[in-house]
């Protein structure tokens, strides 16, 4: 048993046009091209009776079935589409072996890195807000995402929306995280346990942001706290988010919503600070705005006067009614 390489296995090397037929449900899929591969198998774009689908084929029943279980649960998270929807689950018998596979909705989009290449840096914050919104929904439903990283995310649209494509790491709250990747894992950085809880995902979400600024990542070197601080202050893209990233890093957020709201506030404030033209306009308009304030003050006095008069008149009628 030498170090095994998934790239050489059959499931990663299906040829274009190969027909996959399910053993149980008998649906047919024709391979178009490979979309990617991971530790548990490969994902292909395929044609089927139900249109174009993403087909994941693996060799380990356990892990594929676990993923299917998660995808099924996702369809039960009400009101919101979180992951890709599950279409079919089956086995493919070929070359004296059985390969488990499942078909899911094909999400078309760009990787996070490709997307950010063509967009300005505030998009990073906006995508993170979207991600945190979805995480909050997932957490409310009793799940943690686990293996949160750019590889498992996709930007669809326009309108641009961040979506997750690989849900293999999704874990029931309070259990041990099923799958993770060192760079995004707080356990690796010595910043906490691998227990599924909101703060675990929020740590990873922060690291996704850091990863956008440092696409080639970096490994642990010396005191992680100092290292991270240096990385954040050393990046013009991350610096504005420093306070939020630091709180996520230290597990200070209890809910995704908390982090999301702070981020939204920051993004709003940042927009103002970022347009100096508007600021100078505001400065020159200050006398005018003061006048407006004065006007407001005087209108306040009239309002009060009117209210008192009204109450007095009503009281007068009331008294008249009493005496008559």
Catalytic residues: 147
Q: Of the ranges 1-9, 122-130, 139-147, 275-283, which one interacts with another protein (CB under 8 A)?
A: 1-9
Q: Distance between CA 187 and CA 194 in Å, rounded?
A: 6
247 annotated ligand binder: no
Q: Which is nearer to another protein, 135 or 196 (CB)?
A: 196
Q: 């949160």: which residue's tokens?
A: 148
Q: How far is the CB of 4 from another protein (least distance, A)?
A: 8
- The side-by-side arrangement of strands in the sheet containing 41-48 is 19-21, 28-37, 41-48, 51-58, 97-105, 86-94
Residue 77, φ and ψ in degrees, nearest 5: -70, 110
Window 49 to 78, contacts with another protein (CB under 8 A): 61-62, 65-66, 68-69, 72
Q: Which is nearer to another protein, 93 or 265 (CB)?
A: 93
SS3 assignment, position 109: strand
Q: How far is the CB of 24 from another protein (least distance, A)?
A: 5
Q: Is 30 in the site for another protein (CB under 8 A)?
A: no
Residue ranges of alpha helices (H) inside the chain are 61-74, 112-118, 122-140, 198-213, 224-233, 242-249, 256-274, 276-284, 286-323
Minimal CA–CA distance to 131: which of 262, 269, 256? 256
Q: How far is the CB of 188 from another protein (least distance, A)?
A: 7
Return the residue of 41, 58, 83, 100 that touches another protein, per CB under 8 A.
Answer: 100
Known binding residues for ATP are: 56
Which stretches of the chain bind another protein, using CB under 8 A? 1-3, 24, 61-62, 65-66, 68-69, 72, 89-91, 98, 100, 174-177, 187-188, 193-195
């Amino acid at each position: 048993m030498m170090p095994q390489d998934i790239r050489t296995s059959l499931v990663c090397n299906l040829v274009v046009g190969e027909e996959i037929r399910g053993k149980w449900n008998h649906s047919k899929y024709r391979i178009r091209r490979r979309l990617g591969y991971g530790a548990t198998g490969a994902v292909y774009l395929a044609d089927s009776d139900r249109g174009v689908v993403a087909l994941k084929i693996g060799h380990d029943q356990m892990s594929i079935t676990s993923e299917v279980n998660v995808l099924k649960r996702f369809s039960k998270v009400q009101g919101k589409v979180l992951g890709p929807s599950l279409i079919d689950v089956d086995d493919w018998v070929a070359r004296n072996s059985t390969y488990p596979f499942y078909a899911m909705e094909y999400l078309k989009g760009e990787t996070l890195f490709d997307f950010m290449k063509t967009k300005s840096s505030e998009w990073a914050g906006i995508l993170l807000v979207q991600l945190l919104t979805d995480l909050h929904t997932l957490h409310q439903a009793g799940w943690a995402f686990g293996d949160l990283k750019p590889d498992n995310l996709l930007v669809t649209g326009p309108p641009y929306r961040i979506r997750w494509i690989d849900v293999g790491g999704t874990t029931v709250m309070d259990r041990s995280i099923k799958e993770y990747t060192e760079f995004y894992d707080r356990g690796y950085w010595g910043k906490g346990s691998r227990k599924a809880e909101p703060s675990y995902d929020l740590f990873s979400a922060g690291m996704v942001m850091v990863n956008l600024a440092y696409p080639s990542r970096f490994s642990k070197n010396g005191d992680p706290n100092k290292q991270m601080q240096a990385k954040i202050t050393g990046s013009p893209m991350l610096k504005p988010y420093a306070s939020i990233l630091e709180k996520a890093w230290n597990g200070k957020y209890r809910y995704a919503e908390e982090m999301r709201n702070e981020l939204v506030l920051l993004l709003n404030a940042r927009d103002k600070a970022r347009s100096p033209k508007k600021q100078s306009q505001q400065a020159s308009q200050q006398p005018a705005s003061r006048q407006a304030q004065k006007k407001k003050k005087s209108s306040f006095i009239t309002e009060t006067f009117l209210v008192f008069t009204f109450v007095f008149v009503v009281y007068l009628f009331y008294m008249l009614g009493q005496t008559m």
